[in-house]
Each structure stands twice: as structure tokens, then as C-alpha cells.
Structure 1
Amino acid sequence: MTEAATTPAEPILEPELPIVDPHHHLWDRPAARGADLPPPRHPFEVLTRLSPRYLLDELLADLRRGHNVRATVFVQCGAMYRADGPAHLRPVGETEFVNGVAAMTASGIYGEVRACAGIVGHVDLTQDEGLVAEALERHLQVAPDRFRGIRHSASWDADPAVLGPLHRGAAGLYASDAFRRGFARLAPLGLSFDAWLLEPQIGELTDLARAFPETPIILDHVGTPLGIGAYAGRREERFGVWRDALAELARCPNVVVKVGGLAMPFAGFASFQSRPPASSEQLAAEWRPYVEATIETFGPERCMFESNFPVDLGSCSYDVLWNAFKRLAKGCSADEKAALFSGTATRVYRLALP
């Protein structure tokens, strides 16, 4: 198994600052465990082997590393789908599973943290409208106090080497008539939409946001800047293209951004799987251009720092990641920090916290 990024312990910066982590996953992937697995063919395969199991125990261990994490939001990752029954309802199993985890921490026996206080599930919006409507209603039925929306990723690139095992689907998902018919079902139910795509696709999300101004849209991972595959060595060259696309997206008032995901391999930063592991200072230096441009473009009230754990484990530990964000926010006012670290997430995902 590939070695995890076990960054040497660092003092926790601003340990009292309240945090709501708006993006993490839970899963159990037995197929990713074992010493006889073939060598990974893509950096993303490294990540699944670093954390084949990430359930409540593992999440709580990260939440207890010293930062003042008050609550979290779970985001779909294909975990615990139902093994049988109608295909369009199988993703409801993930929401059932996560709602149970949320109920465990809501009991208070694990402390004051409220894990999975908000849940983002999955529905295939390209299905028949009736199936989409039934699936959305079922998610709401199994987690009425926590289900907040769905994520239907559109990530795609002409070079399969960019996404590796995640290369699937086809280009132009968010523009398709079938997708938009399903998407139209979200706003009447008060649901939001999380979007994961790649930097060259940001314009597709802008078109979608303009077509549905009443639907809250959250862009994940600052639009996933690229620096591998066909984009290797071109990250700095593409920075202006990314920044301009983000500025156009920011003209849509119904869009907010999750600031994070830069520890994934897609940007091609030196910190991914570095030995020794990167410090929070190095991470902050690498991520600074993207983080500062995003906050400047959208404003703190439309940005929220995210952990993207356990995926971001490939570059750092949970405590070091939040230290990096705190370094990046050093020049912000108290009100701006409150928005970035907890306020925006609490508002956008409508979290009811003690």
C-alpha cells in the first residue's frame, strides 16, 4: 500500500477559530486494501489506497487533531449505494448511511461536533423527469433534517490521462437538455447543486448558473486547476484562463465557491506525495495564487474553505491542511475569517447547529 502523507506535527494555529468543514467523504473500499495490489497507474489511484476506509472513527480522529471543527457537510462519493432495487433509487442508500452517522454525533456522546450536519447526495439528473423527482423526494424522506442537495459531476477532458480512473461520461453534460430538465427539479424543492468539473469547463457551469438563477450552485475545488497529463508544465500558463473564467462565473449571484481541493494530484503541485511531506507553509505558498484570486473575485461571503478529506490526504494531514488555510487567511478581518471558515458554509447549507 502507498504510504500516507504523515506530515510532522505542527502547532495548531488559531485553535479557537470555529470551523465548519463543508466537504468531506465517508467510505469503505475493501478492494483498495491488500499488499498484492498492482502499482497505481494514475495519481488518483494512490488516494484510494491511502484511505480505503474512512468512516466515523477515522473522521473523528481527524476532527480531534486540534482545530475547532464544529460541524461538517458530507458530499457524495458513491458510498453504500443500495445493492438492489430500482437503479434510480440506489444512491439513496448513501444518504441513509450518512444520516445514521449524523445521528450518532448528534447524540453528543462523541463530543460537541456535529458531523454530517448537512448531506449532499447524488441523483442522475439525465434520467426521466419522473425518476429524478422520485429519487429527490426519497432522499428528502430518509434525511429530512439534513439533506441539502445533490452533486452530479461533469468532470471531463479530451486527454484521459488527466482524470485517469475518473475519466468517464462525455463532454457537455451541463448543457444537455436531459440534464437541464432534471436540474429544473432542484429549486422547487429548495435544494442546492454541487458541481465538480475541471478548469477548462468552468464556462459550462456559468451557462448553467445563468439559465437557473434561482438554484444555489456550489463550485467545488476552485474549479480544479490542471497541471498533469496534457497540462503538465502549463499550470502557470493556464492561470489567467482560469482566473478569467472564474471572474465570469462570479457574475452569477447564485454561485459560491469551495476553496480547497488543491491537495489533489490534478494541479501537479510538488507537495503531492512529497517526501518529506509538505508543511503548511509550503502548501500555503503553492495554493496562494488560487486562494487569493478566488476570495478576491467572489468575496469571503461567497467562499468557504473545505478539507476534501480523505482525498486530500495525498498531500497532508487534516491539521496541517487547516493550518495552511489559516496562513492564507492571515490578512483577513475577523468577519472575513468567520465567513471563510464557518459562516458561508452554515448559510449555504442551511445548517441548524447548537
Structure 2
Amino acid sequence: MKMSVASAPNEMPAHPPVRPDWLDRVHEEAVEPDLRIVDSHHHLWRKPDALYLSQDYVSDVARHNVVSSVFAECRTCYRSDGPEEFAPLGETAFVLEQSSHARTGHATRVAAAIIGYADLMRGSAAGDVLDEHMRVAGEAFRGIRNIAAWHPDARIKPSSIARPPEKLLYDATFRAGFQALAERGLTFDTYVLYGQLGDVRDLALAFPHASIVIDHTGGPMGLSTSDATVFSAWEAGLQDVARCQNVSIKIGGFGMPVMGAGFPGGSLPPTSDELARTIAPYVTRCIDLFGADRCMFESNFPVDKASYSYTVLWNAFKKLTAHLPDRARARLFGGTAEAVYGMS
């Protein structure tokens, strides 16, 4: 599937900076503050130029009833010594420390499940790295993520941490690594753009017993435009991959520049009503195609914090699903994540 180059006359940054003063211009109280939430995707990091630690996350979620969360790899705190393939173990150790710290002072079980990183392009040898993750983190370690998002326009950078080749998910060496993952009963997260949803479908058909999770709504683009071509292509790709019962999807990531909503460019951040209007077609189609049992909401914080506050985001999710039965909402807001990642 050919992908649109979107409207990117200049290089598109993967992640713009968070501007607290700008976010503070819109204040909302939580809608349905007692609704139980499991945040299926967020990051923590300690980088030379940025910190986002468990206490920062706890502060962001405070207005909502977030009972637990899933950490997704972001290539932070890697080991600086030893074999390169084991460097991601430093991130897992960092997250475990942050998780333990958070649980001593707050009801939210931060990083109750950990999605780490192992390079599946190491083939079957990736199994040694997976085993070490499992040894270090125990039951908290639930799987890995390999970002596969690729775009033909080099100005568009879907990720700040990965530059994968065009057909990563088809590579024979990658699939040997994937086999090692599947044999261990671990989940596989991936982030792709909408034109690559067929790649995920092919992988899912090749490994029908593996649990695969598509991040960030399947990578739609052009949210702020009226270009029906991109939406139709995203919808068609999603419809095909949704037929694979071993694939689930995370609904979120709408604040990333590659999505094209353009929130950081506004004089004010969006309210939950404004955000809901923008993302409604995407949220609705994901739920229609996958069903509540294979959909889960994600914050993608702090990446999406550049576009809206945590309270605004989850208020939008709540408003968009207010008409659904209680069971479906329970799955979307927590039950699906707990089932997919084996969280107790």
C-alpha cells in the first residue's frame, strides 16, 4: 500500500517538547473519576536532556482512577558495558526500580507490566536476551516491542528512537527471533504506519498462536485534514488485520506529530470535547473492527503530553464511549490490557 507523504514541507520532529504553561491554559476535572483504568502504554525515562520518572507519571494520572499501567520500551538507561545485545536489560532494571518506588506511596501500580526491548534481528540468539529479561523482572516482564514504522518520505520520522528498514516484519532473521519470542509465550508490540498494516497481518498469519499488539491506533496520518483517501487506506488495512484473532490494538498516540492533528501548534491545548471530535472516527472504527475484547486505551505519555493533558485525554475516551455497555467499557479501559499482558 502506497502511503501519503502528508503535509511535511520541512522535517517533521518525532516528539515536540512539553510546555507546562501551555497545558495549564486548559483545566478540567475528571469525568467519571471512579472509572477503573489500566493505562496500556506509557514510558518512563532518564535521559541527559529529559526526565520522566514514576513520580511524574503519578502526578499526571492523579485525577483519574488509574489502578495500574504498562511500561513500553523507550531505550533509556541502557547498560554501557557488556555485550551490546544485553544493553536493554538496563532499561528493565530502571523500570523495576521506578515501579517499586511508586508502589510505596500511591495506589497506582506503575509499570505493573513491562514491555522491554530485544532486537529480533539477532534471530534465534534473541532468546538469550529474552531469558535474561525474564530472569531479572520475573512475571512483570510480559514481552517486547520492535518498532517497524517506516515512511518513504525521509523527512517524516515516526519515531525518535528507531529507524527500521521498510520490510522489517518480513525479514527471515527477524522471524527467527520472533519464533524465540513466541516459544516463550511473550507478547509482541509493534508500531507501524497505516500502509504497513498488511505487514502485521502477514506476521500474524505466520504465527497464529503469538499475541501481537499494534500500538498507536495503527498509525493513521492526516487527522487534521479532510483527506478521505488516507482514512480509507487506514480503515482497509485495519479491517484486514482485525480478522486475525491473535492481534489486539492500542487506541491512542493521537498527539504525535506524525498523526497530523497539529495540537501543539494551537494557541490553546484542546479540551476533551475538541479532542474527542478529532479522534472519534478512529476510536469508533477500532472498536467496531476489533471489538472491545481486543482494544485497549493508551496514554502514550509523556510523548503525547506535548499535545494535551492526561486528564483531557481520558476525559475524551470516556465521553466517546459513554454510550457503550458497562462490560465493553470495562474491557476498553482495563480488562483487555490485563488479559493480553497477563496482569493480575
- TM-score normalised by L of structure 1: 0.88
Query: Could you list the per-position Cα deviations for residues 13-72 of structure 1 after superposition, in whole angstroms to 9, with x for gaps in the alignment?
Result: 0011000001000012223xxxxxxxxxxxxxxxxxxxx2101121111121x1000000
Amino acid corresponding to residue 56 of structure 2 in structure 1 = E
Does residue 159 (structure 1) correspond to residue 153 (structure 2)? The answer is: yes
Q: Which residue does the alignment assign to 1:180?
A: 175
Q: Which residue does the alignment assign to 1:102?
A: 99
1:23 alignment partner, one of 41, 45, 48? 41
**Residues in 2 aligned to 1:144 and 1:59: alpha-carbon distance in whole angstroms:** 23
Q: Give the root-mean-square deviation of aligned CA atoms.
A: 1.7
**Residues in 2 aligned to 1:234 and 1:170: alpha-carbon distance in whole angstroms:** 30
**Residues in 2 aligned to 1:244 and 1:329: alpha-carbon distance in whole angstroms:** 23
Deviation at 1:165, TM superposition (A): 6.6
8 Å contact from structure 1 (residues 273, 314) kept in 2: no
Amino acid corresponding to residue 90 of structure 1 in structure 2 = A
Deviation at 1:162, TM superposition (A): 1.6
Query: Could you list the per-position Cα deviations for residues 243-296 of structure 1 after superposition, in whole angstroms to 9, with x for gaps in the alignment?
Result: 111010011000000011112111211423421111000000000000001100
Q: Please, which moves more after superposition, 155-164 or 4-13? A: 4-13
The percent of aligned pairs where both chains have the same amino acid is 41
Does residue 80 (structure 1) correspond to residue 97 (structure 2)? The answer is: no
Amino acid corresponding to residue 331 of structure 2 in structure 1 = A
8 Å contact from structure 1 (residues 301, 339) kept in 2: yes
Deviation at 1:82, TM superposition (A): 0.3
Amino acid corresponding to residue 19 of structure 2 in structure 1 = E
Deviation at 1:103, TM superposition (A): 2.1
Q: Which residue does the alignment assign to 1:39?
A: none
Unaligned runs of 5+ in 2: 1-16
Deviation at 1:233, TM superposition (A): 5.0
Are the structure 2 counterparts of residues 145 and 347 from structure 1 closer, same or farther at C-alpha, using a change threshold of 3 Å?
A: same
Q: Which residue does the alignment assign to 1:317?
A: 309
Are the structure 2 counterparts of residues 234 and 175 from structure 1 closer, same or farther at C-alpha, using a change threshold of 3 Å?
A: farther
**Residues in 1 aligned to 2:127 and 2:265: alpha-carbon distance in whole angstroms:** 42
Q: Which residue does the alignment assign to 1:6?
A: 23
- TM-score normalised by L of structure 2: 0.91
Q: How does 1:119-158 map to 2 (within 5 A)?
A: 119-130=114-125, 132-158=126-152
2:330 alignment partner, one of 338, 345, 354? 338
8 Å contact from structure 2 (residues 23, 309) kept in 1: yes
Amino acid corresponding to residue 175 of structure 1 in structure 2 = Y
8 Å contact from structure 2 (residues 45, 77) kept in 1: yes
Does residue 209 (structure 1) correspond to residue 227 (structure 2)? The answer is: no
Q: Which residue does the alignment assign to 1:295?
A: 287
Unaligned runs of 5+ in 1: 32-51
**Residues in 1 aligned to 2:108 and 2:92: alpha-carbon distance in whole angstroms:** 19
8 Å contact from structure 2 (residues 276, 317) kept in 1: yes
**Residues in 1 aligned to 2:231 and 2:123: alpha-carbon distance in whole angstroms:** 39
Deviation at 1:190, TM superposition (A): 1.2
Q: Which residue does the alignment assign to 2:194?
A: 199
Are the structure 2 counterparts of residues 14 and 233 from structure 1 closer, same or farther at C-alpha, using a change threshold of 3 Å?
A: closer
**Residues in 2 aligned to 1:75 and 1:54: alpha-carbon distance in whole angstroms:** 13
- Equivalenced residues, count: 325
Deviation at 1:104, TM superposition (A): 2.4
3-state SS of the aligned residue for 2:135?
helix
Query: Could you list the per-position Cα deviations for residues 121-144 of structure 1 after superposition, in whole angstroms to 9, with x for gaps in the alignment?
Result: 0000011422x1110000000001
3-state SS of the aligned residue for 1:161?
coil
